[in-house]
Amino acid sequence: MKQPGFFDVEERLARLSGLGDQLEAFSRTVDFEVFRPDLELALAYSDGSKGGRPPFDPVLMFKILVIQTLNNLSDERTEYLINNRLSFMRFLGLGLSDRVPDAKTVWLFRERLTQAGAIERLFDRFDATLRNAGYLPMSGQILDATLVAAPKQRNTNAEKADLRAGRIPEDWQDKPAKMSHKDRHARWTLKFTKAKRQDDGTIPSSDLAIPFFGYKSHVSIDRKFRFIRKWKTTDAAASDGARLREGLLDKTNTASSVWADTAYRSKANEDFMDKEGFVSKVHRKKPHLKPMPRHIQKSNAGKSVIRSRVEHVFADQKSQTGLFIRTVGITRATMRIGLANIVYNMRRFLFLERLNASA
């Protein structure tokens, strides 16, 4: 069998480009060097004077996290596919003979960023890039939250009670190996879905309540460009509405209107928005044991046309990148969701730039 040569590889890469390599589009559109200062600050590598193998370039490693997030890959699968796929190698600037970071190196890099709390700075850095490109937050903002699944825990009732009270179960305290695999921050909640029409044409009188374990991703997107501008991670049982007053509103938006569903309708939120200069477009709730007034129905329907745009963000994250929490603890879950939000904004940026280029 003929050994592949330089021109064979170039021809294969050219064919990949012709087929539409998304990572190549990322390289053309996103300047990953803007992340370097924040990455180097978070990693705080030594100057190498003590010897040892030099670390991989931090921008290269961050691009590996982007690949991971785009394709919902484990560390081991990431290592394999970087070695296997020419498109991954080209995106990372690696040749066939170059050293590829192994799964442990990828884990350690992500862990250092996680412990340094760097994900918020990295998100803000790319948001600044979007603003510099002319994508300012405009036309108001839309708030919503979605559940993000995590591996289910098998705990006793007593252990669950301790966790809800913020205590570490006694049986775990002298077993560090066991405790490292126990997620003490994820919570159970009920996920309500609309009851589906039965075979006989009838619809059940009550919706379905499905137990769910994991975390919750809260976001605020701008109405104009649909970029995520503010975000927060909590356990799955946390209230949606209370997050509105915890830095989820973007004061830099050029318009003051705020759209959200009925979970965000409360006197505390309405007072807060009024005080901060926001105009509430939050859905109104149905009166208790009374039919919904006609004028409120029409008002909510008009608001839904705009509010529903945020659902496309979550649909993209879950269908395109398979958003799921593989790790343990809310600090790592925040890192995972933060990366998903950055990658979503990158994909949205690519889409809008391509749209502008063709106009």
What are the mean pLDDT values of the chain's consecutive 10-residue runs (359 residues total)? 59 75 89 96 70 77 96 94 92 91 95 95 97 96 96 85 84 81 89 72 71 95 97 95 95 96 95 96 90 91 94 92 90 96 96 88
* pTM, two decimal places: 0.90
Q: How do strand 141-149 and strand 208-222 relate by DSSP bridges? A: antiparallel
Please give the distance of CA 149 from its chain centroid, rounded to a whole number.
12
Cα-based distances in Å from 19 to 7, 23, 25, 87, 234: 18, 12, 12, 11, 40
**What is the per-residue pLDDT for 117?**
94
Q: How do strand 187-193 and strand 208-222 relate by DSSP bridges? A: antiparallel
**What is the per-residue pLDDT for 1?**
47
Above pLDDT 70, what percent of the chain? Answer: 91
Say how far apart CA 122 and CA 133 lie, in whole Å: 17
**What is the per-residue pLDDT for 161?**
86
Output the CATH code of domain 136-150+186-358: 3.30.420.10
E strands present in 135-179: 141-149
Above pLDDT 90, what percent of the chain? Answer: 65
**What is the per-residue pLDDT for 51?**
47
- Would residue 329 be called left, alpha or beta, if left means φ above 0 and alpha means ψ between -120 and 50 degrees? left
**What is the per-residue pLDDT for 201?**
66
**What is the per-residue pLDDT for 103?**
96
For 247, the enclosing helix (H) or strand (E) is none
pLDDT in tens, 166-201: 888 888 888 888 788 888 899 999 888 776 667 676
Q: How do strand 141-149 and strand 257-260 relate by DSSP bridges? A: parallel
pLDDT in tens, 239-293: 999 999 999 999 999 999 999 999 999 999 999 999 999 999 999 998 888 888 9
Residues 6 or more apart in contact with residue 170 via CB below 8 angstroms: 162
Positive or negative torsion for Cα 166, 168, 189, 229: positive
Domain ranges across the chain: 7-116, 136-150+186-358
> 79: which 2 tokens?
């290592």
**What is the per-residue pLDDT for 17?**
75
**What is the per-residue pLDDT for 191?**
86
